[in-house]
Amino acid sequence: MKRQLIAAVGVAAMVVGVAACSSDGDKTSDAGKATGGSSKAADYSGKTLTVWFMDGSNPKQWTTDLTAAFEKQYPGAKLKIEVQGWNGIGQKVTTALSEDTPPDVLEIGNTQTASYAATGGLMDLTADKSSLGGDNWAENLNKASVYDGKQYAAPWYFANRVVIYNKKLWSKAGLSDTPKTLDEFYDDLGKLNKTSGVDQALYLPGQEWYTYFGLVLSEGGSVAQLSGDKWVGALDTPAAKAAFQTYAKLQSFSKAPKDKDEATPQQSDVFAKGNVGAMIGLGWEAGGAITANPALKDDIGYFPLPSKEAGKPAGVFLGGSNLAISANSKNPELAKGFLKLALSDQFEGAMAKEAGIVPNNPQLNDQAKDNPFAVAAIAASASGATTPGVPEWAAVENTPNPIKDFLTAALQGKDYDSTAKKYDDEMNKRLSQKQ
């Protein structure tokens, strides 16, 4: 799911921008305290807490400050941060969690959490939720940290797609403000397509299923739903059909291929050419466009994709990362202490400010007020959700992704109802396979 989801959020938003062996178990009851621990230095002498972060997820200053705070709070202990690459990370984590000396703390994608929890690889944090700050976590952000009614991880940070637009081209088209409704957005896109120098008003590939997911939310539905105690595909529902009509209309303003996703070609490279009015994407994609074409730096703006209702953003897919503790960690209380620090208002707020992400606690949203991408993303995040929190969902996203293939077929003119049923059947088959 995540691929490069937040891998360059800090760069993308034009700002700056953790498995391995642990020593013997923690013996001190005070180890889980987030601040003001009174333990003696000898209690932690020789201990090493290993944390896995994904490439691009831990901003430099945030990491430096967190390390210093952790090692000050737990004298004698060392924090060992290991940054992992995305390629093959699923199997690497699965293998690590099955070993006797796994990483103590891991960053895991929010849609991956249920899969790892189901194998018994993650520590049950239900009794620790409040002490970790969980009473203030946004419910829709925390949902992916819960499996089978238990808390197996803590929500860390999130990002969702917004409209990234070329202000120079919008001005050339006579557009002085951003749209507040979908109809206004359609009108703006029509004007852009009639403007000299604009190759396409909106770059929206046919298989950008994350945007479609959000549009289904806007219609009060989901791409999958519970039927009894089983998750089943819901592409044949009225909500999904209405969302597709919106998606198809948006796609009609685009020259993007109907049978490719946002990474084929990379949409930030297309936007970087400077002749595309807008794209729907993540902050790092804006950053990628600026890297490819520095002249765009002052020409990029952001706003939430509007819904049919004035002033209300469309639904969004909430992608992000959770922090979890390995069930076999040799330093469980020390690991909980690390989580308390990382998730504290101080460090969660600093993360939002430095990386321009959506924090787990809405009370900290103001920390990202100077980051234009984050401001737009936060405005839409309240209307967001993620995929079903079951381990079987991972199979749905495996190639070939049936939601992607459904979108291509429907955009190419196939009968909606029969096409939706075909791909619902494929989702049902995958969702019924025990992981």
Residue 168 shares a structural domain with residue 245:
yes
Residue 305 token pair: 């994709």
Question: Is there a contact between 285 and 279 (Cβ–Cβ < 8 Å)?
Answer: yes
The reply to whether 134 falls in a domain is yes
**Closest C-alpha among 318, 316, 300 to residue 14:** 300
Type of residue found at 224: A
Task: List CB contacts of 301: < 8 A, sequence separation 6 or more.
Answer: 164, 165, 167, 170, 178, 372
- What pLDDT sits at residue 434? 72
**Closest C-alpha among 249, 260, 262 to residue 317:** 262
Parallel, antiparallel, or unpaired for β 105-109 and 48-54? Answer: parallel
The CATH number of whichever domain residue 31 belongs to comes to: 3.40.190.10
Residue 210 shares a structural domain with residue 190:
yes
Residue 330 shares a structural domain with residue 351:
yes
Domain that holds residue 228: 162-317+388-431
Residue 293 shares a structural domain with residue 425:
yes
Residue 269 shares a structural domain with residue 210:
yes
The reply to whether 346 falls in a domain is yes
Cis preceding linkage at 294, omega within 30: no
Residue 281 shares a structural domain with residue 424:
yes
Residue 168 shares a structural domain with residue 154:
no
Question: Is there a contact between 158 and 318 (Cβ–Cβ < 8 Å)?
Answer: yes
Place of tokens 């994904």: 54
The reply to whether 242 falls in a domain is yes
CA 147 to chain centre: 18
Residue 167 token pair: 């202000």
The reply to whether 65 falls in a domain is yes
Task: List CB contacts of 344: < 8 A, sequence separation 6 or more.
Answer: 34, 35, 133
**348-364 as b/e, with b when 16 or more CB fall inside 10 Å?**
bbbbbbbbbbbbbbeeb
Q: For the chain, what is the domain count? A: 2
- The backbone torsions φ and ψ at residue 125, rounded to the nearest 5 degrees and listed phi first, read -105, 15
Parallel, antiparallel, or unpaired for β 154-159 and 105-109? Answer: unpaired
The reply to whether 4 falls in a domain is no
User: What count of other Cβ atoms lies within 10 Å of the Cβ of residue 254?
Assistant: 23
User: Going residue by residue through the chain (435 aa), what tens digit of pLDDT does each one get?
Assistant: 344 433 333 333 333 332 223 333 333 333 334 444 444 444 889 999 999 999 989 999 999 999 999 999 999 999 999 999 988 999 999 999 999 999 999 999 999 999 999 999 999 999 999 999 999 999 999 999 999 999 999 999 999 999 999 999 999 999 999 999 999 999 999 999 999 999 999 999 999 999 999 999 999 999 999 999 999 999 999 999 999 999 999 999 999 999 999 999 999 999 999 999 999 999 999 999 999 999 999 999 999 999 999 989 999 999 999 999 999 999 999 999 999 999 999 999 999 999 999 999 999 999 999 999 999 999 999 999 999 999 999 899 999 999 999 999 999 999 999 999 999 999 999 999 875
Strands (E) in 222-334, as ranges, are: 224-227, 230-233, 276-281, 300-303, 316-317, 319-325
User: What count of other Cβ atoms lies within 10 Å of the Cβ of residue 98?
Assistant: 14
| Distance (Å, whole) CA 358 – CA 160 | 8
Task: List CB contacts of 69: < 8 A, sequence separation 6 or more.
Answer: 341, 347
How big is the chain by its Cα radius of gyration, in Å?
22
Residue 284 shares a structural domain with residue 407:
yes
Question: Is there a contact between 208 and 3 (Cβ–Cβ < 8 Å)?
Answer: no
What sections of 120-166 are H helices per DSSP? 139-142
| Distance (Å, whole) CA 31 – CA 162 | 41
Say whether 408 sits in a helix, a strand or coil.
helix
- What pLDDT sits at residue 435? 59
Parallel, antiparallel, or unpaired for β 154-159 and 319-325? Answer: antiparallel
Residue 248 shares a structural domain with residue 232:
yes
- What pLDDT sits at residue 35? 43
pLDDT digits 0-9 by tens, 5-38: 333 333 333 333 322 233 333 333 333 344 444 4
Residue 221 shares a structural domain with residue 139:
no
- What pLDDT sits at residue 38? 41
Place of tokens 């899969």: 115
- What pLDDT sits at residue 60? 93
Residue 282 shares a structural domain with residue 427:
yes
- What pLDDT sits at residue 3? 40
The reply to whether 381 falls in a domain is no
| Distance (Å, whole) CA 206 – CA 166 | 21
pLDDT digits 0-9 by tens, 251-263: 999 999 999 999 9
Residue 304 shares a structural domain with residue 324:
no
From the number of C-beta atoms within 10 Å of its C-beta (0-12, 13-18, 19+), residue 227 rates as: exposed
The reply to whether 101 falls in a domain is yes
The reply to whether 355 falls in a domain is yes
**Closest C-alpha among 66, 63, 150, 153 to residue 106:** 153
